[in-house]
Amino acid sequence: MTTTRDLPGLDVSKATLDLLEAFEALARRWTEKINLVAPSTVPDLWTRHIADSAQLWPLAPQATKTWADLGSGGGFPGLVVAILAAEAGAPQVTLIESDQRKCAFLRTALRELGIKATILDQRAEAAPPQQADVVSARALAPLPTLLPLVARHLAPGGTALLPKGRDHATELDAARAAGWTFTAEALPSRTDPSARILRLRDLTHG
């Protein structure tokens, strides 16, 4: 188990850090019963999942009022964002997850941590459009498959924050070949040198 509790690029209060550590402990316990994260990543859960999720927070526009996380799974990045949002007083976070066991975990985490967020236990393509200022999705689908879901829930003028691995450039090319246009920034990941955070704006299709 890692003993480093850093959040590169972020300055948060001790109270928020304590909440994130409590969430980490809860995720470890539940992962023994259900697959919240890949078992191989559990020993380094803080860096691989919590810090990796938290780095999305400062990339959102300052005026963000609503945030939708697609395929929230074990709460990465959505529940981490909700914890950071609690300190900031905004935005309102919605977690969309179709796996009922993972939804049970998310509800338990929110209750035990005293954090507010909305949980929609539906597939992203079936959930009511959220018109969110920010849409995030982590390890959900390749970009050509993911962008229709992002577009469904993104408000006009909104921002998508999508963590991607070493094949991010190939995924961007494939999305453009599938008819998507957007303004894209591939921002360096603070937790994985080969990964990027794709920040997409002006998303349209056709």
- Going by the annotation, the residues of the binding site are 71, 76, 124-125, 138
Before 77, cis peptide (omega within 30)? yes
Widest CA span of the chain, in angstroms?
A: 48
SS3 147: helix
- Starting at the edge strand found earlier in the chain, the sheet holding 92-96 runs 118-120, 92-96, 66-70, 132-137, 154-164, 196-205, 180-188
CA 157 to chain centre: 19
DSSP string, 71-115: S-TTTTTHHHHHHHHHHHT--EEEEE---HHHHHHHHHHHHHHT-
Phi, psi of 84 (to 5 degrees): -65, -35
Which residues define the annotated binding site for S-adenosyl-L-methionine? Answer: 71, 76, 124-125, 138
Q: How far is CA 30 from CA 4, 34, 38, 94, 102, in A?
A: 21, 6, 12, 21, 9
Nearest to 191 by CA among 172, 171, 163, 167: 163
